[in-house]
Amino acid sequence: MQLAGTLFVFVHAVCCLASYHPFSFQRSFLKGKTFELKEHRNSLATATNRVLKLGAVFKRNVRKLREKSLNLDLVFLVDESSSVGSVNFDNELKFVKKLLSDFPVVPSATRVAIVTFSSRSNVVPRVDYISAPQYHQHKCSLLNEEIPAINYRGGGTYTKGAFQQAAQILQHSRANSTKVVFLITDGYSNGGDPRPIAASLRNMGVEIFTLGIWQGNIRELQDMASHPKEEHCYILHSFAEFEALARRALHEGRILCSP
């Protein structure tokens, strides 16, 4: 009986060894990893192509604005909600700095306002060179002092309040100036629909650009932007792509603060 049991164990072990392929698991594992790597490369290529296309369009529009810079009023609405976070909020402000680097920011040419927004009680004009222009308001002060002094606070995403603030500021803009609003946000707005106010501004001749992250309300961003939508609404999949857009489309050299 004991011999039969030993023989059974021996035969079973031989069968198992015969059917064992030592590298089959490794091959399957490597095959899966190769597929994942290929998918990752394809994803990166798609993202790069998207940023290249959007960057080219955005650069062209910034160039058009620069041609009007001797009589231009710009309002930036910058999202500082909790979902953005302090690091990405700093990247938003860097984007604004890069965009303004080639504009003559002085009261007689390009005037600038920057509104940060999060919760309903936290919609604040951090910079306002439009409502009451002063001789000391120029690019050196803006880039080296006022923008770096803007601190992050967090909260909700009260986009409606941001557009209301933009409308109030633009009431004091020059009658014959080109008026532009840039909205930079990452999420769904809350606290009311901002689209009617955006539509009202467009009807008054204000040009609106929206830049948003994919997780946000894409339809809302498209509705708020001016026509043609493909020239004024820029949807990116991440803040990494947002940074890449800034590198592709905006000033990359040393930022000079002289007007």
Q: What is the pLDDT of residues 134-152, one digit of tens each?
A: 988 999 999 999 999 999 9
Q: What is the pLDDT of residues 171-188, one digit of tens each?
A: 999 999 999 999 999 878
Does CATH place domain 42-249 in 3.20.20.370?
no
Q: What is the pLDDT of residues 77-90, one digit of tens each?
A: 999 999 999 999 99
Stated pTM of the model: 0.81
Distances (CA, A) of 60 to 15, 53, 54: 71, 11, 10
Confidence of residue 14 (pLDDT cuts 50, 70, 90): very low
pLDDT at 26: 61
Considering only residues 10 and 54, tell me which one the structure prediction assigns the higher pLDDT. 54
Q: What is the DSSP string of 65-101?
A: HHTTGGGEEEEEEEE--TTTHHHHHHHHHHHHHHHHT
pLDDT at 242: 85
Q: What is the pLDDT of residues 199-215, one digit of tens each?
A: 999 999 999 999 998 77
Q: Are 71 and 176 in contact (CB under 8 A)?
A: yes
Confidence of residue 41 (pLDDT cuts 50, 70, 90): low
Answer yes or no: is pLDDT of 224 > 80: yes
pLDDT at 40: 44
| Gap between the Cα atoms of 207 and 221, Å rounded | 14
Query: In the numeric block, which tokens belong to residue 240?
Result: 């990494």
Percent of the chain exceeding pLDDT 70 equals 78
Confidence of residue 11 (pLDDT cuts 50, 70, 90): very low
pLDDT at 50: 76
Most confident of 16-20, 113-117, 133-137: 113-117
Answer yes or no: is pLDDT of 222 > 80: yes
Confidence of residue 51 (pLDDT cuts 50, 70, 90): confident
Map tokens 């940074």 to a residue: 243
Confidence of residue 229 (pLDDT cuts 50, 70, 90): very high
| Gap between the Cα atoms of 103 and 213, Å rounded | 26
Task: Name beta bridge partners: 239.
Answer: none
Confidence of residue 39 (pLDDT cuts 50, 70, 90): very low
| Gap between the Cα atoms of 87 and 82, Å rounded | 11
Query: In the numeric block, which tokens belong to residue 245?
Result: 């857009």
Query: In the numeric block, which tokens belong to residue 55?
Result: 């960057």
Ordered by start, the domain boundaries in the chain are 42-249
